[in-house]
Amino acid sequence: MADSVEIESQYAPPIAECAHCEHMLPPGLGEKECKVCGAVCRVSHPPTIDSLTDEALPCPHCNTVVVAGTDERPVDISCGACMGSFTLTPKIVKVEIDCPGCERTLRIRPRPGTRELKCPACESKFNVTF
């Protein structure tokens, strides 16, 4: 659909760690497979589930406040007032990393495993592991 509207959710669970190898799990709730060791872990975070279920936001079409009513993300929501629909997408979690070369703070999307980052300010390269 050409006119589908996506809105990023305001809430996301904290990043969970694999119970086996302590690397980060893919973001989100439910059963997650560790990308590093392959273990399947169940991620639950009741305060976030409550926040997601109760999340209220103005309809992008008519501004009527709509309540999500579910912790599923993404979820398609239909506004009861204008019948318009939109998609509530998962919040993108970012973490802040200090560059070891110049102390600039980089904001990145964490991904499991080790990767190389390059600081845009001083161009030094360094590895981060999640």
Residues that bind Zn ion (CB under 5 A): 18, 20-21, 34, 36-37, 39, 59, 61-62, 64, 79, 81-82, 84, 99, 101-102, 104, 119, 121-122
Q: What's the min distance (Å) between Cβ of 52 and Zn ion?
A: 20
Q: What's the min distance (Å) between Cβ of 97 and Zn ion?
A: 10
Q: What's the min distance (Å) between Cβ of 19 and Zn ion?
A: 8
And the tokens for 71?
């912790």
> Among residues 29 and 99, whose Cβ is nearest to Zn ion?
99
Report the distance separating Cα 6 and Cα 58, nearest Å: 13
> Among residues 20 and 94, whose Cβ is nearest to Zn ion?
20
Largest CA distance in the chain: 54
> Among residues 56 and 121, whose Cβ is nearest to Zn ion?
121
Report the distance separating Cα 38 and Cα 36, nearest Å: 6
Report the distance separating Cα 53 and Cα 44, nearest Å: 14
Chain centroid to CA 130:
15
